[in-house]
Structure 1
Amino acid sequence: MDRYSRTVAILRVLLPLSALAILATLFLFSRSQDQVATIPFTEADVTARTKGQQVTHPFFSGTTAKGEEIIVTADSARPGSDTTPGDADNLSARLKTAGGQLITLRSDSGTLASAGDMARFTGNVRIKTSAGLEMLTEVLNAALDGISGNAPGTVTGSGPMGDFTAGSMAFSAKSGDGDLHMLFKNGVKLIYDPKQLER
């Protein structure tokens, strides 16, 4: 047998054995790696998301026939049913009258009843107006088809004239001038501060 034939015979054995060794090495390396893919959500997140539908950062805006602007946003919202309204987390609203006055509303949570065109702000409701009033209450009902609303419970706040508390409050821009009007009722107490008014 010449040298060429001997080389071919040796390679016929060595090459398949080398191929088997390479394949075996690949399988060994692949087994040593973690085969379980990690999910970028905690178990609590997955459970919460599968319990019901939710919308992240919902946004509602509209303009009334009078030219009033209404913008409502939230961190997340879940749809309601025929009998219960949808609820939202970190609900906020920006209302602008036709005359340019602003009122902003923020709360920890709330509900939206689209059928009744109402939003209910609940938990640490913070109210600010462009006239310099800042108020805090626990519940505030606001219309979505116009600028109006009410706080049925205690309202505390401060403004250009001083600090005040009231048993309830209502606001609207329904009068002929289109300006924002706020009515405080049920035991209004005002601590008048002339220095605050001068500022």
Structure 2
Amino acid sequence: MASDRHTRLVALLKVAFPLMALGLLSTLFLLSRQNDPDAAIPFADKEIQDRLRDQQVTGPFFSGTTADGDQISFSANRLTSPSGQDGANRAETVNARLRPTKGAEITINAEQADFDISEDRADLTGDVVITTADGYRLTSDLLTSELSTLRIVSPGPVEGTAPGGTLTAGAMTLEKDGATDSAQMNFTRGVKLVYTPRQQVE
């Protein structure tokens, strides 16, 4: 048990450290700027408060591995720390790429992602699109992902295309199969797959 906790902690830190580094860099950048009275641009008090509260990094990128060796890379247009919360980060225009040790590569795009390092959790919202190398392209309003292991959940409906047709379901979970150690999608709650035969080329 102690070994499992140590392995999970190491995997979480591999993902957490890049995020914390980005936050530290943004803080150092803001604090190191010197005020030049002759060149300073006047800001309203509210705008100054917003800038101090929402420290941000433009174009962040990081990559890491889970406890099982799955590779994860992440990029966004902007990363902020809303309300100055320690360990909490918000990313905008997000692209995440997952390369499991076994199974198809997965790409996730979303308008926004909220990371909570202390909770080992990320919530992706806003036109979330999941694409896999083996032929799935699904949309969801919300995806919840663990940071230290490969487990992604859509607690609400997903819909889109699957190999051979169209697919709708009330929920979805993407995680490692215990028997094969391969990344698999599991659909639940009113699953509907409509088969679309391929047209033969004459």
CA RMSD of aligned residues (A): 3.0
Whether contact under 8 Å (1:142, 1:150) holds in the other structure is yes
* Cα-to-partner distance string for 1:7-59 (whole Å, 9 max, x where unaligned): xxxxxxxxxxxxxxxxxxxxxxxxxxxxx9696xxxx9988645521111222
Higher gyration radius (CA): 1
The corresponding residue for 1:32 is none
**Please, which moves more after superposition, 45-54 or 67-76?**
45-54
Q: Separation in 2 of the partners of 1:154 and 1:94?
A: 22
Q: Find 1:138's aligned residue among 138, 141, 160.
A: 141
Q: Equivalent residues in 2 for 1:147-158 (5 A)?
A: 147-158=150-161
| 2:159 aligned partner, one-letter code | T
Q: Find 1:55's aligned residue among 54, 57, 61.
A: 57
Unaligned runs of 5+ in 2: 1-37
* Cα-to-partner distance string for 1:72-99 (whole Å, 9 max, x where unaligned): 2211111255588321111221111112
1:185 Cα deviation from its structure 2 partner: 0.9
Q: Find 1:175's aligned residue among 172, 175, 178.
A: 178
Q: Find 2:163's aligned residue among 147, 160, 164.
A: 160
Residues 107 and 151 of structure 1, relative CA distance in 2, 3 Å threshold: same
Q: Separation in 1 of the partners of 2:158 and 2:118?
A: 28
Q: Find 2:97's aligned residue among 78, 94, 106.
A: 94
Aligned residue for 1:115, secondary structure, equals helix
| 1:149 aligned partner, one-letter code | I
Whether contact under 8 Å (1:97, 1:178) holds in the other structure is no
Residues 50 and 69 of structure 1, relative CA distance in 2, 3 Å threshold: same
TM-score (norm 1): 0.70
**Please, which moves more after superposition, 139-148 or 55-64?**
55-64
Q: Equivalent residues in 2 for 1:1-150 (5 A)?
A: 49-80=51-82, 85-99=88-102, 101-150=104-153
| 2:72 aligned partner, one-letter code | I
Aligned residue for 2:118, secondary structure, equals coil
Q: Separation in 2 of the partners of 1:150 and 1:65?
A: 18
Of all paired residues, the percent bearing the same amino acid is 35
Whether contact under 8 Å (1:141, 1:151) holds in the other structure is yes
How many pairs align?
161
Q: Separation in 2 of the partners of 1:188 and 1:109?
A: 27
Unaligned runs of 5+ in 1: 1-35
